[in-house]
C-alpha cells in the first residue's frame, strides 16, 4: 500500500472503530433482536440483559464522521472523525468529498449499526410491555422504558446528524408485522423531541449503576435536539436547569473537573463532568474495550501504537493566544504555522516563543513537550513525521503506569477502558453560551465561556517539565513546558456585539471540545443554509494543501460543496431494499 494511501487512511483516524460482526443483513429485513425470544426474555434478568445489549450498540455507533479540520485535512469539520470498515479508496473519497450512495463501507455500516441498536431498544420495550404482571415494580418499569427510549433516541439523533432524512423506527415497527419499510420523508425532529421528553419524565436522577442514563442526560440531549433546529428559546432553560441543578447518575453535582485531562483518565471515569458517557471496559471477555482510539496512539515504548494520527496545522494554530491578553487570535490564528519538525527529522526544534492555550498540550503529542509518564516524544514514536506529520492525539491515551490495568493488548497495540463522553459539562456550558448569544444575552454568554476558559487558565492545567527528561518516573517540576497564557473575556462580548460574541463562542467550542466528535454537527447548525460550513472547511483545505508534504497533493483541487456535503448520502443498498412493488420508500438526499 502506498504511503499516500496510508496517510489518507490514518489522517481520518477513528474515534471508535466499528465492529461489524453480526450486522451484515439489511437493518430492517432481519427480525428485531428479541422477537423470537420475547416469551423467554420476559423476566427481570432477561429484560435487563436486553437493555444491556442495547447499550452495547452505543459502543459501536460512536465512530462519528469527520474531523477534518482538526486532522490534516478539513473534509468534515473540526471535531469529527471517520468511522470504520472503509477501504483505502473509500477513505480517500471521504477526504476528497467524493462520497456517493454506493461508496459502501462506513456509510452503510453506520446506518445498519445504529438501526440495529434501535431495534434492540425497541425489543426491550416490547418485552417489557408483554411481561407478566409483577415482573418489575412500576418504578423499575418506568426506569427501563426510559432508558430504552433514551438509547433509541440517541441513535436516531446520531443518524439525523449525518443523514438528516432518516426513518423513525419505534416499537410498533417489527419484522412479524411486515411494516418495517418505513419512509424517510417526514421530519424526525418531532419524534426525537417526544422521545427525549419521555425519557426525562421517566428516568430517575440517580441509579446504583453509574453507567446508566439519567434524567439530566436526557434533558441535555433534548436541548441539543432543539438547538439543531435553532430552537434556542426552548433549549436554554433546559441547559440552565442542568447547570444549576443537574447531577450525574452517581449523584454528583455537575461541575468541571479541576484537571482538564481527568476527562480521559480511566481512573476517574464517570466524573462530575460526565453528563453521559459510552462505557468501555477491559479484561471482561466481552469485547467491550475502546478499540477505536488505539489507532491514534503514538508508538510509545512498550506499546506498539500506530503514530498515524496526523493533526492539521490549522487546528494546532487555533491554540495560539494573544501575548497581551491571553485571548484567542480569532481572525489571525492561521497567519503562520506553529513551528514543528515534520521536515527536519532528528534536528532540534526551535520552541515557539509566543503564547499558547494550555489545552493544546493536554490534547496532542508534540515535540519537546512531556507526554504524561511516557517520556519525551521521540521521532520513533511517529509512523513517519514527513508523511504523517509531527503531532499525535493525546486525548484518550492512558498513563504508562496504567497500561496493564486499564488497557489490554490487541496484539499490535492496546485497547483501553477510557469512556467516550457524548456530553460533558463543559459542552453544556458552551451550548448555553450559544443560546445566550442567539438570544442577545451577551453578558450571560461571556460568563459561560469564561467559566470554561478559567480552567484552561489555571496553572494546574499547564503541562510541566520533567524533573529528569531521561526518567519520567521521577515526576514533574513546577515549570511550564511551554509559554502558556489563557485570559478571560472582560466585557468584549457586549462591547463588540453579537457577531463578535458568536465568533468567540464558536472558537471556544472548537478549542475546548477538539477531537471529541461534535464539530460536524456544530457546523451544520451554524450553517443554516448560509454556506458557513463549506466556507470554514474550504478555508482549512486551502491552508493544508500548501504544506510541503505528500498529503498536500491529495488536497489540491478538493473542495466541500455547499448544498451537498453538509449531509451524507442515504446508502444505496438501503434504498434498494426499501422497495415495495418496485418503488423505494427511502428518498436520496439532495445532491446525490
519 neighbors 527 (Cβ within 8 angstroms): no
CA 491, distance to chain mean position in Å, is 31
Beta bridge partners of 545: none
User: Given pLDDT bands bounded at 50, 70 and 90, which one contains residue 99?
Assistant: confident
* pLDDT score of 308: 65
Dump pLDDT digits (tens) for 234-245.
999 999 999 999
Dump pLDDT digits (tens) for 343-361.
766 677 888 999 999 999 9
Q: What is 1-202's CATH topology?
A: 1.25.40
- Quick count: other Cβ atoms within 10 Å of Cβ 580? 9
Q: Is the pLDDT of residue 19 over 60?
A: no
* pLDDT score of 66: 34
**Which residue is listed with cell 492525539?**
393
Q: What is the rounded average pLDDT of the residues 213-240?
A: 98
* pLDDT score of 36: 44
* pLDDT score of 302: 81
Identify the residue with better confidence: 294 or 511. Answer: 511
Q: Where are the alpha helices (DSSP H) in 407-496?
A: 425-439, 442-457, 492-496
d(CA 444, CA 500): 14
- CA neighbor of 91 nearest in space, from 4, 204, 161, 220: 4
Identify the residue with better confidence: 546 or 145. Answer: 145
Identify the residue with better confidence: 290 or 446. Answer: 446
User: Given pLDDT bands bounded at 50, 70 and 90, which one contains residue 388?
Assistant: low
HEC string for 67-87: CCCCECCCCCCCCCCCCCCCC
Dump pLDDT digits (tens) for 464-504.
999 999 999 999 999 999 999 999 999 999 999 999 999 99
Strand, helix or coil for residue 226: helix
Q: Max CA-CA distance within the chain?
A: 73
d(CA 514, CA 15): 12
144 neighbors 128 (Cβ within 8 angstroms): yes
Identify the residue with better confidence: 265 or 350. Answer: 265
Q: What is the rounded average pLDDT of the residues 190-205?
A: 98
* pLDDT score of 106: 75
Is residue 369 left, alpha or beta, with left meaning phi > 0 and alpha meaning psi from -120 to 50?
beta
Dump pLDDT digits (tens) for 360-370.
999 999 999 99
Identify the residue with better confidence: 379 or 465. Answer: 465
DSSP per-residue string spanning 475-514: -EEEEESS-B-----SSHHHHH-HHHHHHHHHHHHHHHTT
- CA neighbor of 58 nearest in space, from 146, 128, 152: 152
* pLDDT score of 175: 84
Least confident of 51-60, 139-148, 235-244: 51-60
User: Given pLDDT bands bounded at 50, 70 and 90, which one contains residue 35?
Assistant: very low
Q: Is the pLDDT of residue 569 over 50?
A: yes
Percent of the chain with pLDDT over 70: 84
Cβ-proximal residues to 120 (8 Å cutoff; 6+ apart), any chain: 32, 33, 34, 50, 53, 54, 57, 151
d(CA 114, CA 152): 9
Q: Is the pLDDT of residue 427 over 60?
A: yes
User: Given pLDDT bands bounded at 50, 70 and 90, which one contains residue 79?
Assistant: very low
User: Given pLDDT bands bounded at 50, 70 and 90, which one contains residue 568?
Assistant: very high
* pLDDT score of 509: 97
- Domain range summary for the chain, segments of one domain joined by +: 1-202
293 neighbors 395 (Cβ within 8 angstroms): no
Dump pLDDT digits (tens) for 517-567.
898 899 999 999 999 999 999 998 888 887 766 556 667 778 899 999 999
Q: What is the rounded average pLDDT of the residues 335-341?
A: 90
Dump pLDDT digits (tens) for 297-308.
888 888 877 666
**Which residue is listed with cell 438528516?**
164
37 neighbors 176 (Cβ within 8 angstroms): no
User: Taking all residues of the chain, what is their mean pLDDT, rounded to a whole number?
Assistant: 85
d(CA 236, CA 254): 17
**Which residue is listed with cell 468567540?**
504
Least confident of 9-13, 43-47, 121-125, 379-383: 9-13
DSSP per-residue string spanning 329-379: -TTTTTSSPPP--TTSTTSPPPPP-SEE-TTTTTTEE-TTS-BTTTBS--G
pTM of the complete model:
0.90
Amino acid at each position: 500500500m502506498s504511503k499516500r494511501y496510508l496517510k489518507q487512511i490514518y489522517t481520518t483516524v477513528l474515534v471508535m472503530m466499528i465492529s461489524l460482526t453480526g450486522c451484515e443483513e439489511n437493518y430492517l429485513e432481519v427480525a428485531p433482536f428479541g422477537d423470537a425470544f420475547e416469551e423467554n426474555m420476559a423476566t427481570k434478568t432477561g429484560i435487563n440483559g436486553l437493555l444491556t445489549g442495547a447499550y452495547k450498540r452505543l459502543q459501536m455507533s460512536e465512530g462519528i464522521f469527520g474531523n477534518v479540520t482538526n486532522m490534516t485535512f478539513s473534509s468534515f469539520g473540526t471535531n469529527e472523525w471517520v468511522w470504520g470498515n472503509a477501504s483505502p479508496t473509500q477513505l480517500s473519497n471521504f477526504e476528497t468529498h467524493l462520497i456517493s450512495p454506493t461508496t459502501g463501507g462506513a456509510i452503510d455500516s453506520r446506518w445498519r449499526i445504529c438501526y440495529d441498536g434501535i431495534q434492540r431498544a425497541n425489543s426491550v420495550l416490547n418485552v417489557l410491555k408483554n411481561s407478566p404482571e409483577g415482573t418489575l415494580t412500576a418504578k423499575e418499569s418506568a426506569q427501563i422504558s426510559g432508558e430504552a427510549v433514551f438509547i433509541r433516541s440517541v441513535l436516531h439523533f446520531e443518524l439525523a446528524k449525518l443523514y438528516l432524512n432518516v426513518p423513525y423506527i419505534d416499537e410498533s415497527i417489527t419484522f412479524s408485522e411486515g411494516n418495517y419499510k418505513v419512509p424517510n420523508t417526514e421530519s424526525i425532529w418531532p419524534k426525537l423531541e417526544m422521545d427525549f421528553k419521555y425519557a426525562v419524565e421517566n428516568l430517575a436522577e440517580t441509579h446504583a449503576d453509574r453507567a446508566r442514563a439519567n434524567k439530566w442526560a436526557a434533558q441535555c440531549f433534548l436541548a441539543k435536539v432543539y438547538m439543531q433546529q435553532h430552537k434556542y428559546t426552548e433549549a436554554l432553560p433546559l441547559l440552565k436547569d442542568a447547570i444549576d441543578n443537574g447531577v450525574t447518575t452517581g449523584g454528583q453535582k455537575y461541575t468541571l473537573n479541576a484537571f482538564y485531562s481527568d476527562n480521559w483518565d480511566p481512573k476517574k471515569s464517570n466524573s462530575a463532568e460526565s453528563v453521559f458517557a459510552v462505557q468501555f471496559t477491559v479484561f471482561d471477555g466481552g469485547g467491550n474495550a475502546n478499540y477505536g482510539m488505539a489507532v491514534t496512539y503514538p508508538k510509545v515504548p512498550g506499546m506498539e501504537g500506530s503514530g498515524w494520527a496526523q493533526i492539521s496545522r490549522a487546528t494546532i494554530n487555533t491554540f495560539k493566544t494573544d501575548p497581551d491578553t491571553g485571548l484567542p487570535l480569532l481572525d489571525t490564528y492561521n497567519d503562520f504555522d506553529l513551528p514543528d519538525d515534520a521536515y527536519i527529522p532528528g534536528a532540534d526544534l526551535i520552541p515557539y516563543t509566543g503564547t499558547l492555550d494550555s489545552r493544546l498540550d493536554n490534547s496532542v503529542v508534540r515535540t519537546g513537550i512531556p507526554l504524561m509518564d511516557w517520556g519525551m516524544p521521540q521521532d520513533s514514536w511517529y509512523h513517519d513525521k514527513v508523511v504523517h506529520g509531527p503531532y499525535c492525539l493525546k486525548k484518550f491515551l492512558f498513563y504508562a503506569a496504567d497500561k496493564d490495568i486499564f488497557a489490554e493488548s490487541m496484539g499490535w497495540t492496546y485497547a483501553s477502558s477510557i469512556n467516550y463522553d457524548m456530553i460533558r459539562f463543559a459542552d453544556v456550558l458552551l451550548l448555553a453560551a450559544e443560546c445566550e448569544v442567539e438570544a442577545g444575552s451577551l453578558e450571560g454568554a461571556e460568563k459561560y465561556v469564561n467559566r470554561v476558559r478559567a480552567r484552561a487558565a489555571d496553572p494546574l492545567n499547564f503541562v510541566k517539565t520533567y524533573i529528569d527528561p531521561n526518567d519520567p518516573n521521577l515526576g514533574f517540576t513546577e515549570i511550564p513546558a511551554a509559554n502558556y497564557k489563557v485570559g478571560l473575556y472582560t466585557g468584549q462580548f457586549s462591547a463588540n456585539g453579537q457577531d463578535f460574541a458568536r465568533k468567540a463562542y464558536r472558537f471556544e467550542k472548537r478549542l475546548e471540545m477538539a477531537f471529541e466528535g461534535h464539530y460536524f454537527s456544530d457546523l451544520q447548525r451554524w450553517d443554516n443554509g448560509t454556506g458557513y460550513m463549506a466556507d470554514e472547511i474550504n478555508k482549512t483545505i486551502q491552508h493544508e494543501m500548501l504544506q510541503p508534504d505528500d498529503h498536500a497533493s491529495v488536497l489540491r483541487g478538493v473542495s466541500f460543496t455547499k448544498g451537498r456535503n453538509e449531509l451524507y448520502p442515504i446508502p444505496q443498498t438501503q434504498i434498494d431494499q426499501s422497495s415495495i412493488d418496485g418503488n423505494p420508500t427511502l428518498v436520496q438526499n439532495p445532491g446525490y
